[in-house]
Chain A
């Protein structure tokens, strides 16, 4: 059943895309193409749920040989474990809901069918990435989702800002992809295979265990970090995070699907997949990148006014959390946060899309050719896009306020998502996953006594507080208080039901009690992966650990148990110790995270609802810090000023080199050839060769001129000569 189901999951979106493409080529349109695309995703969703039952603890990959080069054979295949199936469900579920939402949101767009074609292609690519059993397949899917991201960010390519943003996204992620490719090649050079786990001894994960304790660990660390570079690009980690906020130029459903829930999470998925090859060093690098990203992006989000940019930086920050979890060894916690984040962040983006839609209707009413008009406003070609003046009015939170009565459903669902991301205890999924990460990091710190992980825990905790602060700032500015822009407020309205229903579904999924994926332990099994510094293969189950592990959520519980296993290895006593410490760490982390979340929400309430403090006066008082946040730590300026300028300077230099030296050489050779060589050859040809020919001709001509006089045409002359000749001959013979 596995192969047919996976085939259906992959082929449904692909078929939808192919039908769109063929119709597009034939310049025909099919009534309600959007429904076709949506139906394909819903079919994939149903198959994904059916696959849940097919997951076995020790899965075998299903492969076919793809390319044979010499002794090497690259195989392509599927690998189905619980991580895969949960990714499949997350992708198909969010994708289906985004499809449904887009029917309302994109209604009336001139390229409406193309949008759904791209969504279908993206869904196929993402699903292909998730089910691939080898790095090559993952890389193919990886590049395909990058392409779809590029196409969808630049969907409204009439706007210069969108066209620039899609180029920026593509080029920035490319930087990471190059690293990933080098990492893949390093693994290939070492292991002669790209299969992760092929059921025999030849998978990378099996082979990598043999390296434990050898001198190849440094080499493996470098390979791991290089592969993580791909994730840095795709998951928008510092320092390659700058593309993701600009990617918000795309339509909002795209932001929800690609740039919040699925594609950017592919980096986390990859890092978690590659967990067995991560060494201590590469884990620490990943943890630091993740921790720094979480903190940096959260601080930038505080001062944004564009509702989508706040959510974009929030996404970057949450992805940093997931990376931090993987770096700290709790990769199950990271994947847990990936799934919860996918739902509540998709919900937040779709909610913001609903708000923008409400404003946009009025905005478009005022200015019919608004996209055309805007195309001329953004005329800078630098990478720096967002400045105060450039925020579209329908996305500017300063134009919002008091919307909760106008849009009760949007408000209610977004509030659920905000409570979830802020880590409000017990009822909301974000609390559990974030707590699993914080507890995992603290537990790792306590077990390994590593000061690095204590620092990282502190950073993550501060970021958690800031997250609560800025998310409630968004809610307060958008939905509470008095309308700041009365004209826009009067035009705002609740969105149609096709947009509200996906919001409601996602809101329900953000409440963990109702979510069977996270609650059922049978569905959540750690994949057969082992870590290089703790090669324990023991199957995790309720029996191996203390009984109270049965309580709580499956992901949460496995996160603890798995983290403990990481630390303790096969040694039961040591593992029990590690487990106790992790349990303690989780309790400490839970209390602390509730405190910081509460503090963040309280401060946000005081600042933005009660107006007890003025955000402006604080901003003025700490203006250097404020400017640092406002200018996003000057990353864009740095890239613009250093990398872009360097590239342009280098290009100019090369252009000059090309113009002066290469062209000069070519022209010089040409001149020399023409002036000297060709002149000499020409002289020789004209004088010597032609001279000989001409002289011969002249001599012949002159001789002919003279000799032809003999031929008088008078027969009797000839006869006379003949007679003379005969007489002469006779005389000669006589003389002889």
Chain B
């Protein structure tokens, strides 16, 4: 498995995420799209870390680079936190407007 495979998968995920964000009428579906985008990024971080950065040689001991993997973990944690906040906001919007469709939440529209 080479880097290209990972990148293709990642691009598919990203595109699906963008598509979901732009087209879905349900805020939950949009959230799911965002999660896809985030995860495509995480995948890229891990793939680039694995394939692009060479391992470090310390006194004959070869240590692989794991920076991308660490950032990917951060991204997952971030996504979890974000999902919690997002869901809380959606809940508040639902209480206020009786709907979770973003195009109906248009009080600020001029």
A residues at B contact (CB < 8 Å)? 708, 711-716, 719-720, 723
> Across the interface, which residues of B come within 8 angstroms of A714, CB to CB?
102-103, 106
Whether B110 sits at the interface, judged by CB under 8 Å, is yes
Task: Contact check, A708 vs B102: say whether CB atoms are below 8 A apart.
Answer: no
**Residues 93 to 110 of chain B near chain A (Cβ within 8 Å):** 102-103, 106, 108-110
Contact assessment for B102 and A715 in the assembled complex, using a CB-CB cutoff below 8 Å: yes
Question: Which B residue's beta carbon lies closest to that of A708?
Answer: B110
Are A716 and B22 in contact, with the CB atoms below 8 A? yes
Measured CB to CB, the nearest residue on chain A to B103 is A714
* Minimum distance in angstroms from A383 CB to a CB of chain B: 88
A selection of 14 A-B contacts at a CB cut-off of 8 Å is: A711-B110, A713-B108, A713-B109, A714-B102, A714-B106, A715-B103, A716-B21, A716-B23, A716-B30, A716-B103, A719-B21, A719-B22, A720-B22, A723-B18
Closest chain B CB from A364 CB (angstroms): 97
- The docked-state distance in angstroms from the alpha carbon of A712 to that of B110 is 8
Q: Which 3 A-B pairs have the closest CB atoms?
A: A713-B109, A713-B106, A715-B102
* Inter-subunit contact B103/A713 (CB<8 Å): yes
Interchain CA distance A122-B18 in the complex, whole Å: 113
The residue in chain B whose Cβ has the minimal distance to the Cβ of A712 is B109
User: How far is B23's CA from A715's CA once the two chains are assembled, in angstroms?
Assistant: 10
Cβ contacts under 8 Å, A712 to chain B: 109
Beta-carbon contact of A723 and B22 below 8 Å: yes
Contact of A716 among B102, B106, B109, B110 (CB under 8 A): B102
Residues on B with C-beta less than 8 A from A723 are 18, 22
A-chain residues with CB within 8 Å of residue B30 when the two chains form the complex? 716
Q: Min CB distance, A704 to chain B, in Å?
A: 9
Interface flags for B13-50 (1: CB within 8 Å of A; 0: not) read: 00000100111000000100000000000000000000
**How many angstroms from the CA of A713 to the CA of B30 in the assembled complex?**
16
Complex: A719 Cα to B37 Cα, angstroms = 13
Specify which chain A residues have a CB less than 8 angstroms from the CB of B103 in the assembled complex.
713-716
Q: Which residue of chain B has its CB nearest to the CB of A714?
A: B103
Report A107 CB to chain B, min CB distance, Å: 97
State whether A711 touches B18 (Cβ < 8 A). Answer: no
| A720-B108 Cα distance, complex, nearest whole Å | 19
Q: Whole-angstrom distance between the alpha carbons of A708 and B22 in the complex? A: 21
Cα distance A708–B102 in the bound complex, in angstroms: 19
B106 surroundings in chain A (CB, below 8 A)? 713-714
- Within 74-91 of B, Cβ neighbours of A (below 8 Å) are at none
Closest to B27 in A: A715
A708 and B109 CA atoms in complex are apart in Å by 9
Nearest chain B CB to A195 CB, angstrom units: 93
> Which residues from B are CB-within-8-Å of A719?
21-22
- Additional A-B contact list (10), CB under 8 Å, known A712-B109, A723-B18, A723-B22: A711-B109, A713-B103, A713-B106, A714-B102, A716-B30, A716-B102, A716-B103, A719-B21, A719-B22, A720-B22
Inter-chain CA distance A715–B104, complex, in Å, is 10
Most chain A CB inside 10 Å of its own CB: which residue of B22, B30, B109: B22
Q: CA–CA, A720 to B106, complex, Å? A: 17
Minimum C-beta distance from B27 to chain A (A):
9
Residue of A nearest to B24 (CB): A716
Q: Which of A708, A711, A716, A723: most chain B CB closer than 10 A?
A: A716
B15 to chain A, nearest CB (A): 11
Q: What distance in Å separates the Cβ of A718 from its nearest Cβ neighbour in chain B?
A: 10
**A705 CB to nearest B CB, Å:** 10
The closest CB in chain B to the CB of A723 belongs to: B18
Cα distance A615–B103 in the bound complex, in angstroms: 129
Question: For the complex, what is the distance from the CA of A32 to the CA of B15, rounded to whole Å?
Answer: 121
- What B residues does A715 contact at CB under 8 A? 102-103
Residue among B18, B23, B108, B110 with max Cβ neighbours from chain A (10 Å)? B110
B30 to chain A, nearest CB (A): 8
Q: A716: which B residues are within 8 A, CB to CB?
A: 21-23, 30, 102-103
Cα A620 to Cα B106 in complex, Å, equals 121
With a CB–CB cut-off of 8 A, which chain A residues contact B22? 716, 719-720, 723
CB-CB < 8 A to A713: which residues of B? 103, 106, 108-109
Complex: how many Å from CA A713 to CA B103? Answer: 7
In the complex, the chain A residue whose C-beta lies closest to that of B108 is A713
Please give, as numbers and ranges, the residues of chain B lying within 8 Å of A720 by CB-CB distance: 22
Tell me the nearest residue of chain B to A711, going by C-beta: B110
Q: Which residue of A lies closest to B106 (CB)?
A: A713
Bound Cα distance A112, B4 (Å): 130
A716 to B25, CA, bound (A): 9
State in angstroms the CA–CA spacing of A196 and B101 once bound together.
Answer: 112
**B contact residues around A708 at 8 Å (CB):** 110
Which residue on B lies nearest to A709, using beta carbons? Answer: B110
B20 to chain A, nearest CB (A): 10
A724 to B30, CA, bound (A): 18
Closest chain B residue, CB of each to CB of A716:
B22
B23 → chain A, closest Cβ, in Å? 7
In the bound complex, what is the Cα–Cα distance between A712 and B21 (angstroms)? 17
Least CB separation from B23: chain A residue: A716
Chain A residues whose C-beta falls within 8 Å of the C-beta of B108 in the assembled complex? 713
Shortest Cβ gap from B84 to chain A (Å): 20
Assembled-state Cα–Cα distance A723/B22 (Å): 10
Closest A residue to B107 using CB positions: A713
Q: Which residues in A have their C-beta under 8 angstroms from that of B109?
A: 711-713
Kindly list chain A residues whose C-beta atoms are within 8 Å of the C-beta of B110.
708, 711
The CA of A713 and the CA of B101, in the complex, are separated in Å by 12
Whole-angstrom distance between the alpha carbons of A720 and B19 in the complex? 10
> Smallest Cβ distance from A289 to chain B, in angstroms?
101
* Residue numbers in A under 8 Å from B18 (CB-CB): 723
Bound state CA distance, A719 and B30, in angstroms? 11
B106 nearest CB across to chain A (Å)? 4
Q: How far is the CA of A719 from the CA of B34 in the complex (A)?
A: 12
Residue numbers in A under 8 Å from B23 (CB-CB): 716
A719, B108: Cα distance in complex, Å: 17
Who on chain A is nearest to B102 by CB? Answer: A715
* A704, closest chain B residue (CB): B110
State the Cβ distance, A25 to closest chain B Cβ, in Å: 76
Instruction: State the Cβ distance, B37 to closest chain A Cβ, in Å.
Output: 11
- Complex CA–CA separation, A481 to B109 (angstroms): 122
**A717, chain B: closest CB distance, angstroms:** 9
Q: Which residues of A contact B21 (CB under 8 A)?
A: 716, 719
Residue from the set A713, A714, A719 with the largest chain B CB neighbour count within 10 Å = A713
Nearest-CB distance from A319 to chain B (Å)? 102
CA distance A464 to B105 in the complex (A): 124
Query: Which of A708, A715, A723 counts the most chain B CB atoms within 10 A?
Result: A715
CA distance A279 to B25 in the complex (A): 125
Rounded to whole angstroms, the CA-CA distance of A590 and B5 in the bound complex is: 162
A711 contacts which chain B residues (CB < 8 A)? 109-110
- The minimal Cβ–Cβ distance linking B44 to chain A, given in whole angstroms, is 16
Q: Could you tell me the distance between the alpha carbons of A713 and B109 in the complex, rounded to whole angstroms? A: 5
A714 to B106, CA, bound (A): 7
Chain A min CB distance to B110 (Å): 5
In the complex, A711→B110 CA distance in Å? 8
Q: Which residues of B, 37-73, contact A by the 8 Å Cβ criterion?
A: none
Assembled-state Cα–Cα distance A715/B102 (Å): 7
CA–CA, A5 to B106, complex, Å? 105
B110 nearest CB neighbor, chain A only: A708
B102 / chain A contacts, CB cutoff of 8 Å = 714-716
